[in-house]
Structure 1
Amino acid sequence: MTIVTPPPTADAPWPVGLLAGKVRDWIDRLGTAWVEGQITQWNVSGGNVYGKLRDLEQDVTVSFSIWSSVRSRVPADLKQGDRVIAAVKPNYWVKGGSLTMQVFEMRHVGLGDLLERLERLRAQLAAEGLFSPDRKKRPPFLPQCIGLVTGRDSDAEKDVLRNAQLRWPSVTFRVVHAAVQGDRSVGEVTAAVQQLDADPEVDVIIVARGGGDFQNLLGFSDESLVRAVAACTTPVVSAIGHEADRPLLDDVADLRASTPTDAAKRVVPDVNEELSRVQQARSRIGVRLNQIVSTEIDRLEQVRSRPVLASPQTLVDVRADEVVRAVARGEELVARAVERAHTRVSELTAQLRALSPQGTLRRGYSIVQLPGGGVLRDPADAPESTPLVLTVEGGALQAVSTGASSPGPASSASSSSSSDAASPASTSR
């Protein structure tokens, strides 16, 4: 016989245990159902699996558990992100008041829809060159102001600030808080990045989050956020802290850090390390300078030890002797040249005198000239009373022709000196 429980009223309410039992009984009657979805969380503990299954179209997620007794019906290579179909049965835990889906069987369907879309987007952005190493900008060696996009009061923010200030105490930050998961994360993170990129005092931007499951990191693979980061003129560092299933932000960022702590170490130099490097560099420079100075001192000593520098007067004496010899040689050559020139002049003078008409006159000859200045060569050219000029060694005489005579003793002619004084007659021969 079935016992009918009267409906609860304010005067006769049901005990919580009765309500929980009725809910359990009602859920048990639902039986097993096959569902399709995306694994967004997969944790193994004590041989049991605890995870989450997400609807492929809607933002709906349910928790599921796979007991160790049925693990043999589940593929061993299942992991987060896989698209699966599963035989599940709702299970209401009365004591805790929680509802879970107990999985009795699970099968692969193929690459999850989310991962498939992400892979298509990754390939598209890569083809556009957004992931190219050539477009990535190197963060400055020592940024004066660092922009930080992270969740409010998050461990990621504390890690970045603490580690950066430990490495370089004077570094400053400009922090913009944003939702790092959920529906608001894409818009807020994008706006924060654009705000810091527009700030001229910000030298580098860090986007930090302390890891999380695949579903919580989906916002950092959004196309609008990825393109906003690619358009930044300020270097962007991705510090999402998730090694597996890297979000697209890691690929488009100028620098990827494995954790927020790693981001602080890679963006901010260690002041102690830099001081040590400076000291080492100064030591190396000092050693090198000492080596150079010592080498130059040795070279200078070698030069100074040469005889010409050890006794500079020797060089002067040697050159002075050379000058004296050169002067003596020059004088000798000049004297010889002058002597040869004198001899040549004497020879030419003798030749000239031998050929000169004055020499002929000196031997007693004379030159008879007609009035016109012509030389008389034939007596017929000087008829009687023809005035003549007779040139002898001592000077010129005026004469008058007496006419031609027969050969024999020289004819005489009347003559007078150039001063009209009477002188004996001269004959030409």
Structure 2
Amino acid sequence: MAERITGTPDEPWSVERLGAELKSYIGRLGHLWVEGEITQWSNSRGNVFGKLKDVEGGATVSFNVWRSTLQAIDGEFSQGDRAVLLVKPDYWPRGGTLSMVAAQIRHVGLGDLLARLEALRRQLAAEGLFEASRKRPLPFLPGTIGLITGRDSDAEKDVLRNAQLRWPDVRFRVEHAAVQGDQTVPTVLAALARLEADPEVDVIVIARGGGDFQNLLGFSDERLVRAVAAATTPVVSAIGHEADRPLLDDVADLRASTPTDAAKRVVPDVAEERARIAQARAQLGMRLTQLVAREAERLEAFRSRPALARPETMIDQRAEELARLAARADELAGRAVDLGAQRLEHLRGTLRALSPQSTLDRGYAVVQTAEGHVLRDAADASPGDRVLVTLAAGSIAADVQEAHPVE
């Protein structure tokens, strides 16, 4: 069958007519549903310009989502999502480009699953399970490390080898579990429960050697995520991936980029710790030396003071002072004695002057009645009364012969 040719070399179509014919022809295709992977999603002033790639082949087509349509679409879309679009082909003659104007867009397959995971991520984040404040610190040197990984996996070998290289005496309790497929969640949950029940396990590492999105779905299961959040032992997520981030990474107390990184994060490096100890000892020794030197300088300064250089000086000064005080005490004591003697002599003279004995010594006598009263008036005595006459030396008992009162 011969190919139909439109126009002739003498009467060819213009480019504008060709564009108009193409636009008219393509426009008659109407709306159609197309499925593919979004390889480009660029938002410019509310309008989206993207590209949709066939999930199996390499065919790619551009599409546009205008602002009004985008506002009516449920969910969020981004590069890498698998989606189904209701598009209407549109040819732009001036640019000579063909694009699809999307009227509807929906997640499909993995894209739909990603949307559900994002919804779950937002729910768990709203509950506070991803908050940094609830994450527990890892012990500096765990006594026993619990490891959940696949049997004979590279992840297990990487964790064990790198941890033992850093700290040869490290101990592990390994629990094997399925790390992909339907058995991932129940086996990992069971291994987690066994390690949680072991009081010797100080930290738990869940390790897997990476994989595609579908193989990592088990580590975003809500049951596993909530079990890790409720664990009392710190949990390290070491799934070994970068592009896809399972929910386990967000809820774990520490996210390690690879199993090797997990081994480096859970145990210290013995060489580094020895170097730090040596450095600390050197600093301590230097500070101790400085302290001793400073105290030695202070001691030498004290020793150079006169009081310590010639301590007998203080004794000599005190001896001289004591001698002066003793001499002063002797002087004051002698003066006090002299003054006392003078006063005593004065008092003695006064006493003598006032004493009746002085009067008696001059020849006078004291006459007393038998009752002991001193006779001062002759009228108080009668002849025959018994009197006692006291002399300067001794006394005489006498009888009154006569009394001559003063007239």
TM bracket (short chain): 0.7 to 0.9
Equivalent in the alignment of 2:79:
79
Compute the RMSD of aligned alpha carbons: 3.2
Equivalent in the alignment of 1:423:
none
AA partner of residue 178 (structure 2): A
For residues 119 and 391 of structure 1, the distance between their equivalents in structure 2, rounded to whole angstroms, comes to: 141
Higher mean alpha-carbon deviation, 300-309 vs 111-120, is at 111-120
AA partner of residue 224 (structure 2): L
Counterpart check, 1:247 vs 2:237: no
Deviation of residue 205 (structure 1)?
A: 0.8
CA contact (8 A) 2:107 2:115 kept: no
1:141-152 matches, within 5 Å, as: 141-152=140-151
CA contact (8 A) 1:126 1:132 kept: yes
1:168-179 matches, within 5 Å, as: 168-179=167-178
For residues 222 and 113 of structure 2, the distance between their equivalents in structure 1, rounded to whole angstroms, comes to: 13
Residue by residue over 1:227-277, the C-alpha shift from the partner in whole angstroms, topping out at 9 and shown as x without a partner, is 222232222111123344532222222222121111111111112111211
Equivalent in the alignment of 1:387:
386
Residue by residue over 1:53-73, the C-alpha shift from the partner in whole angstroms, topping out at 9 and shown as x without a partner, is xxxxxxxxxxx33533x3313
Structure 2 residue matching 1:179: 3-state secondary structure:
coil
Equivalent in the alignment of 1:131:
130
Equivalent in the alignment of 2:317:
318
Equivalent in the alignment of 2:402:
403
Equivalent in the alignment of 1:290:
289
Larger Rg: 1
**Structure 1: segments with no counterpart, 5+ residues:** 1-31, 51-63, 89-103, 409-429
| Closer/same/farther in 2, CA of residues 335 and 311 from structure 1, 3 Å limit | same
Normalising by structure 1, we get a TM-score of 0.70
Equivalent in the alignment of 2:95:
none
Equivalent in the alignment of 1:417:
none
1:303-314 matches, within 5 Å, as: 303-314=302-313
For residues 143 and 202 of structure 1, the distance between their equivalents in structure 2, rounded to whole angstroms, comes to: 8
Counterpart check, 1:109 vs 2:106: yes
| Closer/same/farther in 2, CA of residues 340 and 233 from structure 1, 3 Å limit | farther
Residue by residue over 1:329-388, the C-alpha shift from the partner in whole angstroms, topping out at 9 and shown as x without a partner, is 222222222222222333333333333332332333322211111222222221111111
For residues 339 and 214 of structure 1, the distance between their equivalents in structure 2, rounded to whole angstroms, comes to: 122
Normalising by structure 2, we get a TM-score of 0.74
For residues 343 and 123 of structure 1, the distance between their equivalents in structure 2, rounded to whole angstroms, comes to: 115
Match of 2:56 among 58, 65, 73: 65
**Structure 2: segments with no counterpart, 5+ residues:** 1-30, 41-50, 66-76, 88-99
Deviation of residue 160 (structure 1)?
A: 1.1
Structure 2 residue matching 1:71: 3-state secondary structure:
strand
Structure 2 residue matching 1:207: 3-state secondary structure:
strand
For residues 277 and 144 of structure 1, the distance between their equivalents in structure 2, rounded to whole angstroms, comes to: 21
For residues 42 and 197 of structure 1, the distance between their equivalents in structure 2, rounded to whole angstroms, comes to: 43
1:19-34 matches, within 5 Å, as: 34=33
Equivalent residues, number = 341
1:291-370 matches, within 5 Å, as: 291-370=290-369
Residue by residue over 1:9-62, the C-alpha shift from the partner in whole angstroms, topping out at 9 and shown as x without a partner, is xxxxxxxxxxxxxxxxxxxxxxx984889x7x989xxx9946xxxxxxxxxxxx
| Closer/same/farther in 2, CA of residues 358 and 337 from structure 1, 3 Å limit | same
For residues 196 and 314 of structure 1, the distance between their equivalents in structure 2, rounded to whole angstroms, comes to: 79
Deviation of residue 178 (structure 1)?
A: 0.8
Counterpart check, 1:202 vs 2:201: yes
Residue by residue over 1:270-315, the C-alpha shift from the partner in whole angstroms, topping out at 9 and shown as x without a partner, is 1211121122122222222222222222222222222332233333
Residue by residue over 1:159-213, the C-alpha shift from the partner in whole angstroms, topping out at 9 and shown as x without a partner, is 2112112212221221111112222111111111111121122221101112233
